């Protein structure tokens, strides 16, 4: 049904549901599931918090860029991207070489409700409030929107509804 050569990259702010939706989508379609943060943690044998603490953010961003290149070479995966992957233009152009980018769009309030108990995201540790999320999102919004081939609003929707929407978008890609 789907053309499995291309990758499907899910982008969006931390807590927008990329991992959950990618997992469901993979089960429905057989696309290989790649969760970028999890892959980086396994390969580095360290948590994202530890990588940020020991080596800093730009080292982490290098690991992301390297992983994007490897995913692009392979194809056929649904990729749950880290929320900051598209900050590097190089990554976006690599992703587009062999893939489509779907932006899961959520409001700062939706994000806050989902991430408020999380301690695994270094950028939010110590900044866990809706104002901070809104500020960071305002800076990133144009980047997410420019990178995206398609935007899917995920506010107040069931997972199944979002996955169905993405399935129908992917069919149109092929």
Binding residues vs ligand S3P (CB under 6 A): 14, 18, 37, 48, 82-84, 121-123
142-153 burial, b if ≥16 CB within 10 A, otherwise e? ebbeebbeeebe
Least Å distance between CB 72 and ligand S3P? 18
DSSP string, 105-148: E--HHHHHHHHTT----TTTTT--SHHHHHHHHHHHHHHHHHH-
Least Å distance between CB 174 and ligand S3P? 27
Least Å distance between CB 145 and ligand S3P? 15
Contacts 24+ apart (CB under 8 A), 162-168: 162/17, 162/21, 162/104, 163/21, 163/24, 163/25, 163/28, 166/8, 166/21, 166/25, 166/102, 167/25, 167/28, 167/29
Least Å distance between CB 171 and ligand S3P? 26
Residues with Cβ within 8 Å of residue 166, at least 6 apart in sequence = 8, 21, 25, 102, 152
Least Å distance between CB 57 and ligand S3P? 8
**Is the CB of 37 or the CB of 76 nearer to ligand S3P?**
37
């Amino acid at each position: 049904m789907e053309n499995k050569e291309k990758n499907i990259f899910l982008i969006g702010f931390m807590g927008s549901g990329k991992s959950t939706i990618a997992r469901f989508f993979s089960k429905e379609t057989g696309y290989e599931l790649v969760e970028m943060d999890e892959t980086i943690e396994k390969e580095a044998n360290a948590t994202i918090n530890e990588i940020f603490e020991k080596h800093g953010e730009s080292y982490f961003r290098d690991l992301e860029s390297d992983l994007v290149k490897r995913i692009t070479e392979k194809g056929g995966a649904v990729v749950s991207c880290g929320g900051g992957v598209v900050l590097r233009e190089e990554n976006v152009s690599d992703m587009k070489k062999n893939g489509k980018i779907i932006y899961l769009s959520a409001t700062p309030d939706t994000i806050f409700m989902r991430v408020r108990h999380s301690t695994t995201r270094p950028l939010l540790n110590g900044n866990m409030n809706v104002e901070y999320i809104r500020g960071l999102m305002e800076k990133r919004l144009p980047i997410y929107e420019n990178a995206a081939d398609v935007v899917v609003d995920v506010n107040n929707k069931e997972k199944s509804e979002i996955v169905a929407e993405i399935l129908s978008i992917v069919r149109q890609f092929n």
